[in-house]
Amino acid sequence: MDVEVAGSGEDEKARVTTGLDVGKHVTGMRRVYKGEPVSAASLHEDPLKQFKLWLQDAVEAEENEPNAMTLATADEDGVPNARMVLLKGVDKRGFRFFTNYDSQKGRELTGNPRATLVFWWQSLSRSVRVHGQVERVPDAESDEYFESRPIGSQIGAIISTQSKPLHSRRELNEEYQRLMAECAEGRYVPRRPAHWGGFIVRPLWIEFWQGQPSRLHDRIRYTRCTTTDAPPSTDGDTEDVASPAFTKEALYP
């Protein structure tokens, strides 16, 4: 489904506004949250299993991209950055996503391997925050996911020097069209570039948030019993990976 965005295809400077002072109007923007109450006793003992239950609820509620999440990182000086990415897997190890290793987020995760994830499911008035240690997934796992992507997405990952200055959109488009044509003719088969692959966030704590009236929200935090790093993954098989133990408690709103 195509969605028409206000101002798309136009010169933004030429847009005519409605006269509404959005900067002031936003002060009064609010909604009443109401969800089924949750407590430490009502949630699963395993936060990863509980997350899957809530993610399934978001899918069934037809949330727009329920796997979308904010990824917050920090560089080696502690300067924070955040952006939206897509969750591409969750298992006993943690939360998995894929990106360009040479991008800003890739460099920051390599130099300072900690991250926080935030999920927001508006129709359910629910949010989940995850904080943990980060490591790269095995190459074989990145290869498998890369090969499952649409051809256009594969080529996009190959030709993009993500986060670097773009001097010519036309040249980028021409390179994309050239490789797409070669693929169609059987003269080119995309292969995962070394600069692209997956990361996994191994959670140290996970917080579940359920919106409630009068801002008296339900907050349940799971904290891992030890902060010792789990052994790095050696392959994509997660069946033999033990789920870490967590404690859980309710927090003030």
Q: What is the DSSP string of 111-178?
A: HS-EEEEEEEEGGGTEEEEEEEEEEEPPHHHHHHHHHHS-HHHHHHHHH--TTS--S-HHHHHHHHHH
Per annotation, catalytic residue among 83, 178, 191, 215: 215
Is the confidence at residue 247, as pLDDT, over 90?
Answer: yes
Residue 173 lies in a domain: no
- Higher per-residue pLDDT: 18 or 202: 202
* Inter-residue contact 223 to 206 (CB < 8 Å): no
Residue 140 lies in a domain: yes
We report the CATH number of the domain holding residue 40 as: 2.30.110.10
Rounded distance between C-alpha atoms, residue 197 and residue 100, angstroms: 6
* Inter-residue contact 88 to 198 (CB < 8 Å): yes
Residue 41 lies in a domain: yes
* Inter-residue contact 119 to 57 (CB < 8 Å): no
Phi, psi of 210 (to 5 degrees): -120, 120
Q: How many domains does the chain have?
A: 1
Residue 205 lies in a domain: yes
Residue 183 lies in a domain: no
**pLDDT band of 20, cuts 50, 70, 90:** confident
Say whether pTM exceeds 0.75. yes
What pLDDT, on the 0 to 100 scale, is given for residue 234? 40
Domain around 146: 32-151+195-251
Residue 107 appears among annotated catalytic residues: no
Residue 61 lies in a domain: yes
Listed range (26-30, 40-44, 206-210) with the worst mean pLDDT: 26-30
Is the confidence at residue 3, as pLDDT, over 50?
Answer: no
What pLDDT, on the 0 to 100 scale, is given for residue 241? 53
In tens, the pLDDT along 61-91 reads: 999 999 999 999 999 999 999 999 999 999 9
Phi, psi of 54 (to 5 degrees): -70, -35
Is the confidence at residue 45, as pLDDT, over 80?
Answer: yes
Residue 12 lies in a domain: no
Residue 113 lies in a domain: yes
